[in-house]
Amino acid sequence: MNQNLLVKSFTKPKGIQYEKDVLTPNYGKFVIYPFERGFGHTVGNVFRRVLLSSIPGYAITAIRVQTWNDKNELSILPSPFEAIPEVKEDTFDIINNLKNVKIKLLQDIESRTIKIEKKGAGDITALDLQVDDFIEITNKDLHIMTLTKDANISIELQIDSGRGYVDIDRQESYGEHDISTILIDADFSPVRKIKYEVTDTRIGQRSDYDKLIFELWTDGTQSPEDTMGIAAKILTDHFSTFINFKVEEVSEEKVEKDEDQELKQILSTPVEELELSVRAGNCLRSENVRTIGDLVCKTEDEVSKIQHFGKKSLTEIKEKLVKYKLSFGMKDIVSKVMNKK
């Protein structure tokens, strides 16, 4: 049966509805129907999984803390286990506060570095982050730390893009970081909560169609509508692989040709690539053996009779050739492969 006819026989939603009265930057309620019976849960579940695990976002992934005392002497925080001078909170509490900073980059930028710089007593909030025109902090009133009157602090913060939750061991943005860089577990996902339900709905005389009701809460860095759209695109990109796919039948002739080309390349390789001992290499060069092909054209007896060539060198070469699935005495095969076009 024609595949297009099979697909057309399914009843599918004409679009997606959302309740404008309850829509906020953090919350959206979406209604999609009608689905054939059972498809409401199929679509709802796959959307839920993608929304929870795969929506990209931004987070602070590393910090570098510098402080100065009353003598203007610089101190660099070596680890989160150390306290920051003239700061009331524990370092781990500060890091946890930084994890909760909600960041939105207004262009397709993968990473950015920003700073906090402050002297004297007072609170530091997310509003104190020195951002440019391309960065937006959506929870500016978030408390980060409290400074005493003698405080003089500068914090460099690395912002990166990513998906889902990434622990310190998987953080790669800093590569080999120095001792002054403190990595942070990062939750990149803008999705905070998902809820869906499937109810019956009537279309014409049938009342057994599925209606999918989706509720989505985000952290405000991304609207619920955009988040749903990104999830749909991720799924479409993945499922498109399975549409009209063709299984390519590889002929025996093509396989044989590819194998011959691979063997020809190996046979043309200089013997130096075998990384033989100096003694074995010198002996082969004295007999004008330049390539692996030259070598395997000889018999084991011929090689063993080369002047100054001992049993140890012979064993060494045989072990090297085995790795390439080659052996001595392949003159006819070499001739056939090298002359084949």
pLDDT tens-digit series, residues 84-112: 999 999 999 999 999 999 999 887 788 89
Evaluate whether the domain defined by 10-54+191-242 bears CATH number 3.40.50.2000: no
Contact (CB, 8 A) for 288 and 294: yes
Contact (CB, 8 A) for 186 and 59: yes
Where helices occur in the chain by DSSP H, the ranges are 3-8, 39-53, 91-99, 224-239, 252-267, 278-286, 292-297, 300-304, 311-323, 331-339
Whole-angstrom distance, CA of residue 255 vs CA of residue 61? 48
Whole-angstrom distance, CA of residue 266 vs CA of residue 276? 16
Residue 141 class from Cβ within 10 Å (0-12 exposed, 13-18 middle, 19+ buried)? exposed
Task: Give the fold, CATH level 3, of 56-187.
Answer: RNA Polymerase Alpha Subunit; Chain A, domain 2 (2.170.120)
Q: Characterize 190-213 residue by residue with b for buried, 16 or more Cβ atoms within 10 angstroms of its Cβ, and e for exposed.
A: bbeebebebeebeeeeeeebbbbb
Instruction: Please report, rounded to a whole number, the percentage of residues in the chain having pLDDT higher than 90.
Output: 50
Task: Give the fold, CATH level 3, of 252-339.
Answer: DNA polymerase; domain 1 (1.10.150)
Please compute the mean of the pLDDT values over residues 264-277 and round it to a whole number: 81
Domains of the chain: which residue ranges? 10-54+191-242, 56-187, 252-339
- The pTM for the full model equals 0.66
Please compute the mean of the pLDDT values over residues 154-165 and round it to a whole number: 92
